[in-house]
A and B are shown apart, each in its own frame.
Chain A
Amino acid sequence: MGPHELALLTLRRLVAAIPLVIGVVVVNFTLIQLAPGDPTTALIGDYPAPPGYVEQVRAEFGLDRPIPEQLGRYLWQVGHGNLGYSFAHRKDVGELILERLPATLRLMLTALAIAIVLGVGLGILAARRRDSPLDHGTRLFSMTGYSVPEFWLGQILILVFALGLDLLPSQGARSLRAPPEGFAAFLDGLRYLALPAFALSLRYIALISRITRASLLEVMNADYILASRARGARERTVLLAHALRNAAPPIVTAIAYDFGFVLAGSALIETVFGWPGIGRLLFESITRRDYPVMTAILLFVSLGVVLANLIADLFHAALDPRVRRP
C-alpha cells in the first residue's frame, strides 16, 4: 500500500469519526444532566449555605442556563480545545487529564501487550494441538479468566503477592521514598506495573486466545492451506505465511473492540491499586459529581476507541489486498 493510499484512507476514517465523537459528547452530557444531584452541593459541601449563595455559584458556572444552551456552550468550548473547569480539583480539566494520561497509557498498553502476546500465543498452541490436554486446559483457563471480575482478581493478587508473599508493591506507580534513577527507575516501574497490568489483562488474554483458536481452526480447513501443503510447504510456512495472515482480521477486530473495555476496566483496577491515572480520576469524579471531568474523560475514552478502530482498519487494509484494491 502506497503512502498516498494510506493517508487517504486515514483521512476518510477520521472525517467519518467526527459526527460520532460529537454524538458521544452530546449523549454523555445529556445523560449526566438527567442524573439526579447537583455539582454545587458537592462543591459547597454539607454546610447549610444561604440560598442566595447557591444561586450565585450556579450562575458563576453557568449552571442556571437551560440545558440546550449549556450543551451548546460546552460543544463550542470543546471544539476550541477547552475541556472546562473541574469543580472538585479547582483546576483546568485538560491540564488535569494530561497529568494523569501517561500513567493510564502505560498501564493499558502494557496490559494490552500482555493480552495480545499471551492470547495469540495460547490460541495458536490450542489450535495446533486441537483436543489435546493443552487445548482443554486453555479453554478452561479462558472460561475462568473471562468470568473473574477484574477488581476482585486485583484484590486477590494484592492479598497473595503483596501482603502474603511480599514480592511486589500493591499501591501506586513508583517508589516514593528514595525514588531510584535511570535503569533502576525503569525496573522499579515494572515492579509496580506487574500486578495491575496482569489483573487488567487476564480477561483479554482469555478473549483473544479464544478468538485466535477459533479463527485459526477455521482457516486451517481452507483450500489454499491444502494447496500450500500439496506444494510441499513446511508446516511452519503454512502457519506463518498463510494461516496466521488469514486468521488475523477477526483477532485484530477483537483487540480494537477490547480497547474500550480495557479503558473502562482500568477505572476499577486503578482504584484497587491506587494507580494515579485517568481511571481513578473518573472514579473520583463520579463520587464527587465533577461533571466536566466525567464528560471529558468519556470523550477521551471514545476518542481512544475511534483511534483503536482506525488502527485496526489500517491493519486490515495493509493485510488484505481486497480491502485496499477492491
Chain B
Amino acid sequence: MTEPLLDVRDLRVSLRRSGREVSVVDGVSLAIAPGEFVGLVGESGCGKSMTAFGLVNLFPTPAAHLAGGTVTFHGGRRLDGLPPAAMRRIRGAEIGMVFQDPNTYLDPLLPIGHQIAEALREHDFAGDVDARVLELLTLMEIPDPALAVRRFPHELSGGQRQRALIAAALAMNPKLLIADEPTTALDVTIQAAILDLLRRLRRQLGIGVLLITHDLGVIAETCDRVYVMYAGRIVESNTTASLFATPRHPYSQGLIKATLRPDRREALFSIPGQVPSPDSPPAGCRFHPRCPIAIAKCMGQSPELVSYDSGSVACHRAHDPAARTTWSASAA
C-alpha cells in the first residue's frame, strides 16, 4: 500500500460511567489508502461509531474521550492530541462526516442551503459560497437546486435530506469521508440510491471513504476492504471479495451466514448469544462465549491479529481446517 490517507494504531475510547472508566474501543488499528472505500462492520454496540468519532476526537456525549492510540492523517499529521482549534480546522474541511439519521442531523430551523454554506463559511472558503452550494446540490442530484437551497429540512424527503448532509460534508472537498450508517434510516430504494451516490462521488472526487455499517450487504456492494469489529476490537480484515469467499474468524463466518439472501429458503441464521457489555468483557477472546469451536486457550489468552495473504485475523484456531466451516454443524 502507498502512504495511507489515514493510519490508525491501537485507538482506545473510554466512557466515564458513574465514576468508572469503561473501554468501548479497545485498541483498534486500521488504515485507509487515498481513494479507498473501506468498510467497518459489526453489531450494534460493538464500538464502530465510537471508533469513527475517535478519529476526529468529537463525541456525541461528553462522557466519551480518547484513551490512547495514534491517528496519522494525510501528510503524516498526527490528529490525536491536536488542540481543539486545530482539530476544528480539519473537521469538515479535510474529513467530512455523514450520519445515520438525516431527520435529526439537520437543524430544523435553518434552510439546507444555509447549513451547507456553514461548512464553507466556517473554513473561510475563498470562492463564491452561493455558487459552491448550488454546485454541490447539483453534484448530489437534488432536483431544482436554486429552489432547494431555501427549503427547510421538513420540506424535503429523507433521501434528499441525506443528500443535503452529504453535500455539507463534501463542501470543502475533504480527502476522507466518514459515513456512519448513512443508509440505515432510509427506505430500501433510497438506500440503493445513496450507495450509488457514494460510489459515484468516490470515483468522481477520488476521496477515501470509511463506511460504518452493521449491514454486510451494504459492504459487499461498495467496499474495497472490510474490517470486522467485535466488542471493541478488530477481529478480521480483508479485501471484500476474500472476506466473503473465505471468512477466517468464526464471527465473520456467522455474520455472512446471517445475511438475508433470496436464494436461501431456510430460516434465517443468527449467532446465538449476545454482544458482551463493555462494562464486563469476557476474558481471553471476547467472542469465546458465543463461539462453537472455542478451546481452553480462547478463554485465557486474547488472540493477536495475525496477517496472512491479503488479510489478518485474530483467532487461535484460524489455521485449523475445522475452523473454516464453524457454523455448518451447528446451524440453527
Q: Are A232 and B152 touching (Cβ within 8 A)?
A: no
- Give the complex CA separation of A242 and B107 in angstroms: 7
- CB-CB contacts below 8 Å: B293-313 with A: none
User: Given A226, A228, A322, which contacts B152 in the complex, CB threshold below 8 Å?
Assistant: A322
A interface bracket (residues with beta carbon within 8 Å of B): 20 to 34
Contacts of B60 in A (CB 8 A): 223, 226
- Give the complex CA separation of A223 and B59 in angstroms: 11
Contacts of A233 in B (CB 8 A): 88, 92, 118-119, 122
- B71-101 toward A: CB 8 Å interface, digit per residue (1/0)? 0000000000000000011111100110101
Q: Are A230 and B155 touching (Cβ within 8 A)?
A: no
User: Given B93, B107, B119, B155, which contacts A325 in the complex, CB threshold below 8 Å?
Assistant: B155
B interface bracket (residues with beta carbon within 8 Å of A): 20 to 34
Rounded to whole Å, the gap between the CB of A240 and the closest CB of chain B is 12
Q: Does A237 contact B (CB under 8 A)?
A: yes
Q: Does A222 contact B (CB under 8 A)?
A: yes
Q: Does B58 contact A (CB under 8 A)?
A: yes
Rounded to whole Å, the gap between the CB of A252 and the closest CB of chain B is 13
Contacts of A325 in B (CB 8 A): 152, 155
CB-CB nearest in chain A for B174: A232
Rounded to whole Å, the gap between the CB of B164 and the closest CB of chain A is 11
Q: Does A79 contact B (CB under 8 A)?
A: no
Q: Does B16 contact A (CB under 8 A)?
A: no
- Count CB-based A-B contacts (< 8 Å): 90
CB-CB nearest in chain A for B172: A232
Contacts of A179 in B (CB 8 A): none
Known A237-B122, A319-B109, A322-B108; judge A231-B58 contact (CB<8 A): no
Contacts of B106 in A (CB 8 A): 224, 227
CB-CB nearest in chain A for B171: A231
- Give the complex CA separation of A229 and B62 in angstroms: 13
- Give the complex CA separation of A229 and B122 in angstroms: 10
Q: Are A229 and B91 touching (Cβ within 8 A)?
A: yes
Contacts of B92 in A (CB 8 A): 230-233
Binding site for A on B (CB under 8 A): 56, 58, 60, 88-93, 96-97, 99, 101, 104-111, 115, 118-119, 122-123, 152, 154-155, 165, 168-169, 171-172
What are 5 A-B interface contacts by the 8 Å CB criterion? A231-B91, A231-B92, A233-B118, A242-B109, A321-B154
